[in-house]
Structures are given as C-alpha cells and as structure tokens.
Amino acid sequence: MPELPEVQMVCDAIWPRIVGKRIEEVEISHKEVLANCDLDDFRLRVKCSAFCDIKRRGKYIIFHLDSDAFIVVHLRMTGRLLAVPKDYPEEKHTHAVFKLQGRDALRFIDQRKFGKIWVYDCEKTLNESLSLLGPEPIASEITEEFLFNRLHRTSRAIKTCLMDQQLIAGIGNIYSDEILHSVKIAPWKPANQLTVQEYADLAQAIPQIMAYYVKMNRMSAEEYLQTAGKEYRNTPYFRVYGRAGQACLGCGAVLRKMLINGRSSVYCPSCQMLDENE
C-alpha cells in the first residue's frame, strides 16, 4: 500500500516511541520476513542495541542503531509498523516483534507477507544496498534536464517510468496517476514522446504533488495507533486514484481505468488526451 507520503508518516508516527530505546528482545514468528540473514544472525546483530534515529529513503524505512548497524524495513503492499505497549492485543499476521526497554514494543504486521526486513552492519553496506535508488521526488535533483536526460531515449510508458525506483525513489501507483493527471499527460504516453514543456511540467509537479500529499497525510502517533496503521488521511484528497467512473475534478468527464504494465491506472480521457494528435 504505502508510497512515500505514507512511509514518511509511519516514520514520524513511531519515532517518539522508538528512538532512544534499547532492543531487549527480538521475536520473529515468520522467518521469511528476514531478507538477508537468518534468525540467529539477526538477533545477534541487533539485540542490546538502541535505536538512535529513523529515516526514510524512497519507500524504505531505515532504523539507525547505536552499534552503527541499520535495520531496514520495506512495507510493500500490506506491511505495517506499530509502536505499541507490550501488552497491546497482538494482531493477526504479526511476524516480528522488537521488545524495547520500558513499556513499548515495535511490531511488524503484514497480511500478504511481501514486506521485508534487512540488517546491515554499517553505513557502507547500507548505502550499497540502496545505491540503485533514484533521487527523492521532493529534492532539487528533479529538474527538467534530469528528466529529459533519463527519459528521452526510452519508449516505456511515462507512468511506468515514474514508478521506476531507479529513476525516482518513492512514487508508486497512486501518486504516478495523481502526478500525470495534474500535468495532463496520458499515462501510456511513451516517455520519449514528451514535449520539452511536458518535461518541465513534470519537474515542477513531482515535488509539488508529493509534498502536498506528505502534508495532507500527517497525523499524530495517537491517531496512527487508533487506526492501527490501516488508514491514511490523504485518501480523500486523491483526484484520480480510486475515482474511476466519477467526474474529473478538472473538466467533468468520466474518469477511466486501464491497465498499464499490469498496474491499474486511472486517468481523464478528456484532459489527459489533449496531445493525442501530435
């Protein structure tokens, strides 16, 4: 489920209950959740360390430990991280529990078991593992020149490009649709057919749209816990995602849904097709 705005909110929401606390015990009930080591190894590398920071890179959540090791979590489709009191009722599909000093525990819950947890010994191995990620969407690197240089030779659909984590890290199916609707570009348009103006529009819209949804998704730790991490505040603000069959908020035409590279995509057949006869 979560893309950059949701992952950012999770980091912010669990931060106050996690940072500064020591890991007293680790319980892994579904060992496949560990992506790059086995259970004993994992325990050995993180136990007795304290969390000193939580950061986000793309859709990855990065826990910095005071041993200089890092725990990295990717929620994929249905993963959730909850910081809760140890005696808080345990939810189904809880695969990992970090019991912290004091009253709280960090739990990883994932119905579909797609989510993963990695551990890295130092900043060097962490950086190597993330080295293929493109720049953050809310960053000065996202310029017209950057997009042109990276895209003008590929015939892939622009939507597919925006979701490519090696181009830009953090955009998924929802926000690629939102971005393309805002700049009135058809999601299936081959990237190498975009005009100079369209590259410029995208460079402007990508940081702006992502920052907007980060802002709209902000919630307190208490609010996050109340919904058990299952609901997001920014959902009512989507202008195309989840609105197929409803009116385009720009022109009133009925929004349509189609598959692009196997991903459902919602678009406005009127305002996102103005350039069809180029």
Partner DNA sequence: CCAACCCCCTGAACGC
Partner DNA sequence: TGCGTTCAGGGGGTTG
Binds DNA (CB under 7 A): choice among 263, 269, 270, 273: 263
Binds DNA (CB under 7 A): choice among 134, 137, 172, 229: 172
Binds DNA (CB under 7 A): choice among 1, 48, 50, 221: 1
Query: What are 212's two structure tokens?
Result: 């907007």
Is 32 within 8 Å of 59 (Cβ atoms)?
no
Strand pairing partners for 237?
A: none
User: DSSP assignment of the chain, as one string?
Assistant: ---HHHHHHHHHHHHHHHTT-BEEEEEESSGGGBSSS-HHHHHHHHTT-BEEEEEEETTEEEEEETTS-EEEEE-TTTEEEEEEETTSPPPTTEEEEEEESSSEEEEEEETTS--EEEEESSHHHHHHHTTT----SSSTT--HHHHHHHHTT--SBHHHHHT-TTTSSS--HHHHHHHHHHTT--TTSBGGG--HHHHHHHHHHHHHHHHHHHHHT---HHHHHHTTT---TTGGG-SSTT-TTSBPTTT-PBPEEEEETTEEEEE-TTTT-TTTT-
17, 59, 116, 184: the catalytic one is 59
Q: Residue 221: what are its φ and ψ, rounded to 5°?
A: -60, -40
Query: Smallest gap, in angstroms, from Cβ of residue 143 to DNA?
Result: 20
Is 113 an interacting residue with respect to DNA (CB under 7 A)?
A: yes
- Among the residue ranges 62-70, 81-89, 139-147, 254-262, the one whose residues contact DNA (CB under 7 A): 254-262
- For DNA, the closer CB: 45 or 159: 159
Query: Smallest gap, in angstroms, from Cβ of residue 263 to DNA?
Result: 5
Is 134 an interacting residue with respect to DNA (CB under 7 A)?
A: no
Binds DNA (CB under 7 A): choice among 262, 276, 277, 278: 262
Q: What residues from 66 to 85 belong to the interface with DNA (CB under 7 A)? A: 74, 76-77
Binds DNA (CB under 7 A): choice among 36, 67, 111, 204: 111
21 is catalytic: no
230 is catalytic: no
Binds DNA (CB under 7 A): choice among 13, 117, 163, 248: 163
Question: Which of 72, 82, 79 is CA-nearest to residue 122?
Answer: 72
Is 136 an interacting residue with respect to DNA (CB under 7 A)?
A: no
Query: Smallest gap, in angstroms, from Cβ of residue 38 to DNA?
Result: 17
Is 146 an interacting residue with respect to DNA (CB under 7 A)?
A: no
91, 190, 263, 269: the catalytic one is 263
Q: What residues from 50 to 69 belong to the interface with DNA (CB under 7 A)? A: 58-59
What are the residue numbers of the active site? 2-3, 59, 263
Residues that bind DNA (CB under 7 A): 1-3, 6, 58-59, 74, 76-77, 92-93, 111-114, 153-157, 160, 163, 165, 172-174, 232, 235, 257, 261-264
